[in-house]
Amino acid sequence: MPRLNIQLGYAGFAGDMSAWLDFGCGIYGLQALPGENELRFRIDDRAWRIAIRQSDTPGVDYIGLEVGTLRDLQAIAGRLRQFGHQATENRDLAKTRNVFHLIETEAPDGTRIELFVGGLTLSEAFVSPTGARFVTGSAGLGHVLLLVPDIEAALAFFVDVIGLRRTDSIEVVPGSDGHFLNGGKRHHVVALAHIPGVTGFDHIYLEVDRMSTVGRAWDKVSGGAAPVARSLGQHANDPALSFYAQSPSGFLFEYGFASTLIDDPESWTETRWESAYLWGGTFGSHAVG
């Protein structure tokens, strides 16, 4: 399979919009675009990157994976159908998401995946209420981690069908590895892990361009602005400096700096790490997994 340029383009969640407004803007510097039934956030020149649907049942609604070209998107749709997965073109939804072309599908664990090309770029500058500057562009929005009941089915879907490639792996619990999947410059776009008894959407990662921005957000969270899930620390494989807080929708929100960008994926050597952290990253009382 040829190397594909696939990024995390956007994500949609359900939860309390008012709580998300304080969480996203006040702590992390996202720019809010409030609506009647949906709150959207900007972090760069795209029209939006994160959407929150008002709901008393919090969780993840969808994950948007951006594909580099329409030809590649059509090839992925063909493989989805070939391997028995849904692949539905939805023009009305494409307009709602502000993208040129969109294919709906579903991962084996039930997570809704939207594959798209042509995300809308605005001429109006992104303005962060905290002065944060996010690392996106050719690296995309960031990454997500899914805790899945069947790791082999999930790997087959995201690697063999979608076209991501494994960067490395880490033993997350005895006898079970977490797998980190690359699609462009970002070290991993999607991470997958199987932890017995725990399934669902674990976290989303956003990255900023200065450690001081992470530090100021950490001061707020550690001071009580949001529940701490994992303390400030440095991952072994990225090796990003980051921390995790519990979001208003229940999953974790990772905020970090200086993760690896892979300029030449063909020269990358897949590795397996003995530990997720070089230092820090201790679990808080609201950790998932």
Number of domains in the chain: 2
Please check whether residues 13 and 54 belong to one and the same domain: yes
pLDDT at 289: 33
pLDDT at 203: 98
CA angle 48, 30, 21 (to 5 degrees): 100
Q: Is residue 287 part of a domain?
A: no
Please check whether residues 148 and 266 belong to one and the same domain: yes
* Mean per-residue pLDDT, 216-239: 97
Please check whether residues 173 and 39 belong to one and the same domain: no
Q: Is residue 80 part of a domain?
A: yes
Give the 3-state secondary structure of the chain.
CCCCCEEEEEEEEEECHHHHHHHHHHHCCCEEEECCCEEEEECCCECCCEEEEECCCCEEEEEEEEECCHHHHHHHHHHHHHCCCCCEECHHHHHHCCCCEEEEEECCCCCEEEEEECCCECCCCCCCCCCCCECCHHHCCCEEEEECCCHHHHHHHHHHHHCCEEEEEEEEECCEEEEEEECCCECCCEEEECECCECEEEEEEEEECCHHHHHHHHHHHHHHHCCEEEEEEEECCCCCEEEEEECCCCCEEEEEECCCECCCHHHCCCEEECCCEEEECCECCCCCC
Q: Is residue 125 part of a domain?
A: no
pLDDT at 2: 67
Please check whether residues 55 and 187 belong to one and the same domain: no
Q: Is residue 289 part of a domain?
A: no
Please check whether residues 149 and 276 belong to one and the same domain: yes
Last residue of a domain, one of 117, 149, 179: 117
Please check whether residues 111 and 141 belong to one and the same domain: no
Q: Is residue 41 part of a domain?
A: yes
Please check the confidence at residue 126 and state whether its pLDDT lies above 90: yes
pLDDT in tens, 154-196: 999 999 999 999 999 999 888 889 999 999 899 999 999 999 9
Q: Is residue 103 part of a domain?
A: yes
* Mean per-residue pLDDT, 268-275: 92
Is the backbone of residue 18 left (phi > 0), alpha (psi -120 to 50) or beta? alpha
| % of the chain beyond a pLDDT of 90 | 90
* Mean per-residue pLDDT, 116-121: 98
Please check the confidence at residue 283 and state whether its pLDDT lies above 90: no
Containing structural domain, residue 171: 137-280
Say if residues 249 and 20 touch (Cβ distance below 8 Å). yes
Please check whether residues 14 and 146 belong to one and the same domain: no
Tell me the pLDDT of the chain averaged across its residues: 95
pTM passes above 0.85: yes
Please check whether residues 151 and 275 belong to one and the same domain: yes
Please check whether residues 147 and 110 belong to one and the same domain: no
Res. 286 pLDDT band, cuts 50 70 90: very low
pLDDT at 138: 87
Cα 73 from Cα 79, distance rounded (Å): 10
- Residue environment code for 37-63, b if the CB has 16+ CB neighbours within 10 A, otherwise e: eebbbbbbebbbbbbbbeeeebebbbb
Q: Is residue 274 part of a domain?
A: yes
Please check whether residues 106 and 144 belong to one and the same domain: no
pLDDT at 1: 67
pLDDT at 80: 98
Cα 243 from Cα 177, distance rounded (Å): 21
Say if residues 183 and 175 touch (Cβ distance below 8 Å). no
Cα 188 from Cα 121, distance rounded (Å): 23
CATH code of the domain covering residue 260: 3.10.180.10
Say if residues 252 and 167 touch (Cβ distance below 8 Å). no
Q: Is residue 50 part of a domain?
A: yes
Min mean pLDDT across 23-32, 225-234, 277-286 is at: 277-286
Please check whether residues 111 and 144 belong to one and the same domain: no
Please check whether residues 64 and 149 belong to one and the same domain: no
Cα 119 from Cα 98, distance rounded (Å): 6
Please check the confidence at residue 248 and state whether its pLDDT lies above 70: yes
pLDDT at 287: 41
pLDDT at 288: 36
